[in-house]
Structure 1
Amino acid sequence: MTVTMPAVSECTVLGCSYNDHSGCHAFAITVSGADSSADCGTFIPLGVKGGLDRVVTQVGACSRTDCVHNANLECSADAVRIGAGAGSHVANCLTYSTS
């Protein structure tokens, strides 16, 4: 069985070490969080840039079982967007939805 993981189509969290010109350069991200937020668990707030030069970042895992795109802890969305969340949540999966 071949599974295609959704790409991270956009990341607007400029304070993340993996962000370069609104593109995520991590090999894969993990979506986590609690309550009403779906945090990007891969967010690293350092001044040093990291990641890979040529990569199409994917959602490697999603622990938000209440999301409509979650199927057996894998994301089934076509693509996800990462951006600032509400309050103290710096990096959220903006594609997260419970309805």
Structure 2
Amino acid sequence: MSTVTAVTSCATTSCAYNDSGCTAFAVTIGGSAQASCTTFITLDARGGLPTADSQVGACQRLECVHNKDLMCSAEGIEVSDTATCLTYEAR
């Protein structure tokens, strides 16, 4: 894999990294019951990069069709308002 997957949209406006989109340098997709952004955090402050240009740094969902060597191979991912990875697809 020579490219990283972009976070194309994130509707989780309660996340400290969401400022008109995801501003974390990279997110991790994990979760136990459902595939979710484990970088999500609710704080009274906003953080991250000055622009919404995040990427998927790691994927811990081995059963996802987009998981290749713990990296996301999808063209981009979308995250819902509940921090769920909407691009997740079980094998």
**Band the TM-score falls in, shorter-chain normalisation:** over 0.9
Q: Show structure 1 runs of 4+ deviating over 3 A.
A: none
The one-letter amino acid paired with 2:86 is L
Deviation at 1:44, TM superposition (A): 0.7
Deviation at 1:6, TM superposition (A): 0.7
The one-letter amino acid paired with 1:10 is S
Q: Deviations over 1:13-70 (max 9, x none)?
A: 010000012x1000000000113x1110100111200001035210000000000100
In the alignment, structure 1 segments of 5+ residues that lack a partner are 85-89
The one-letter amino acid paired with 2:67 is N
Separation in 1, partners of 2:52, 2:15: 16
- Give the number of the structure with larger relative contact order, counting CA–CA contacts within 8 Å between residues 6 or more apart: 2
Q: Which residue of 1 aligns with 2:18?
A: 19
Instruction: Output the TM-score relative to the length of structure 1.
Output: 0.86
Q: Which residue of 2 aligns with 1:92?
A: 84
Instruction: Output the TM-score relative to the length of structure 2.
Output: 0.93
The structure whose Rg is larger is 1
In the alignment, structure 2 segments of 5+ residues that lack a partner are none
Deviation at 1:92, TM superposition (A): 1.2
Superposed CA RMSD? 1.3
Q: Which residue of 2 aligns with 1:87?
A: none
Task: State, as a whole percentage, how many aligned pairs show the same letter.
Answer: 47
How does 1:1-99 map onto structure 2 within 5 Å? 3-21=2-20, 23-35=21-33, 37-54=34-51, 56-84=53-81, 90-99=82-91
